[in-house]
Amino acid sequence: MLHLTIVVPDGQNNLSSMIGSFKVFNRANEYWESLGNKAVFKVQLAGLSQRVELYDGLFVVQPHTHISAITKTNLIIIPALNRDYIKSLKLNTALIDWLKEQYLGGAEIASICTGAFMLAATGLLDGKNCSTHWIAAGQFKGMFPKVHLQTEQLITDEQGIYTNGGAFSFLNLLLYLVEKYYDRKTAIYCSKILQVDIDRHSQSPFTIFTGQKGHDDQVVKKAQALIEGHPQQLFSAAELAERFSISRRNFDRRFIKATGNTPAEYLQRVRVEVAKKELENGAKNITEVMYAVGYADQKAFRQTFKKITGLSPLEYRSRYHKDASVL
């Protein structure tokens, strides 16, 4: 029998990803045994403390064992972390060392949502692709520049390391792992019991673009405000550089360093975010929305919208606008 460790970090404040992992793999074991097989995993929660309080003591998790008692495990799941990521990592240095040791000893590791911060702290993600909740992307990039962050991806899978996007999308990662360690039939069974859509691959439709403002470049912040205040206007990088009396090359360099986007990419994302809100809440049809955000070519609008959200404007409106009607 293989061993599965669900870690319980100190300072943890996310209960759902621990309980969800525990329930999914126990359900998979039960189904697997009902078919006449032996259970695939022994599932244990392990941490640094005997008792971890969550949500100001409202809930308490008592791990089965201390991580030091586990010398060999096959699969490790890191749950989502408290939003104070720096504090969480400081509280769990021994756990981070243990994760690295186990991986080098042959274990596979999966991080859920912002659990990617802990996984990245091991150095094991350097040079690899990774996903996490889109809302934490800016801070993650700043803390772990050697990791190739792919927030549009719901799941990444590289060399026995798995990561996933945000919030309850972790259930899709768990189904992915069930299919790998059990089989497709068991994964489908779990998806039906849990009522989770299987084979969802992107979190792009759920992303809310708020602009990357966690920097100190005042010129770039002014340029961002100008773009966001006039999404229908096509600002060229040259025009923006001239407005702020700096060279085009220097402006591009500073804008990319501060936001992670070129000025043109930033404008596209701002326009698409405005279009999304119009499609969700407004009475405008898709053509009217297209013009309102500065596009005159339907093909270009559709292509850009789908590239960023993973859905066409029509698909997005149908999903998120209750009284969708397209003229």
pTM of the model: 0.73
Same domain, 53 and 192: yes
As a whole number, mean pLDDT of residues 141-155 equals: 91
On whether residue 211 sits in a domain, the answer given is no
Q: What is the pLDDT of residue 153?
A: 86
On whether residue 326 sits in a domain, the answer given is no
Least confident interval from 14-23, 82-91, 200-209, 221-230 = 200-209
Segment 15-23 mean pLDDT:
95
Q: How far apart are CA 93 and CA 38, in angstroms?
A: 36
- pLDDT for residue 326 is more than 60: no
Percent of the chain residues topping a pLDDT of 90: 72
- Where do the DSSP E strands lie in the chain? 2-8, 41-47, 52-54, 59-61, 65-66, 75-78, 108-111, 129-130, 148-149, 155-158, 161-164
- Taking the C-alpha atoms of residue 226 and residue 217, their distance in angstroms, rounded to an integer, is 14
pLDDT of residue 280: 85
200 and 253, same domain (yes or no)? no
Please determine, for residue 327, whether its predicted confidence score (pLDDT) is greater than 60: no
- Residue 159 Rama label (left phi>0; alpha psi -120 to 50; beta): left
Domain that holds residue 48: 2-206
Cα 23 from Cα 187, distance rounded (Å): 13
In this structure, what are the phi and psi dihedrals at residue 240, rounded to the nearest 5 degrees? -65, -40
> Of the candidates 153, 177, 206, which is a domain's last residue?
206
* Domain match, 129 and 108 both: yes
With a CB cutoff of 8 Å and minimum separation 6, the contacts of 307 are none
The mean per-residue pLDDT over the stretch 37-61 comes to: 95
**161 and 231 fall within a common domain:** no
Q: What is the pLDDT of residue 89?
A: 96
Q: Decide if pLDDT at 105 tops 90.
A: yes
Please tell me the predicted confidence (pLDDT) of residue 322.
66
Give the pLDDT mean for 130-140.
92
Which of the listed residues 180, 206, 232 is the one where a domain comes to its end? 206
User: Is 36 in the same domain as 177?
Assistant: yes
Interval 192-231: pLDDT, tens? 999 888 877 677 776 778 777 878 899 999 999 999 988 8
pLDDT band, very low/low/confident/very high, at 84 (cuts 50, 70, 90): very high
Q: Quick one: how far is CA 292 from the chain centroid?
A: 30
The pLDDT of residue 321: 78
Instruction: Check whether residue 132 and residue 223 sit in a common domain.
Output: no
Residues 171, 262, single domain; the answer is no
Residues 264-300 have pLDDT tens digits of 999 999 999 899 888 988 778 999 999 999 999 999 9
- From the list 127, 163, 131, the residue with the least C-alpha distance to 146 is 127
Would you state the pLDDT for residue 252?
Answer: 93
Total domains, the chain: 2
Please determine, for residue 190, whether its predicted confidence score (pLDDT) is greater than 90: yes
CATH of the domain at 180: 3.40.50.880
pLDDT at residue 254 greater than cutoff 70: yes
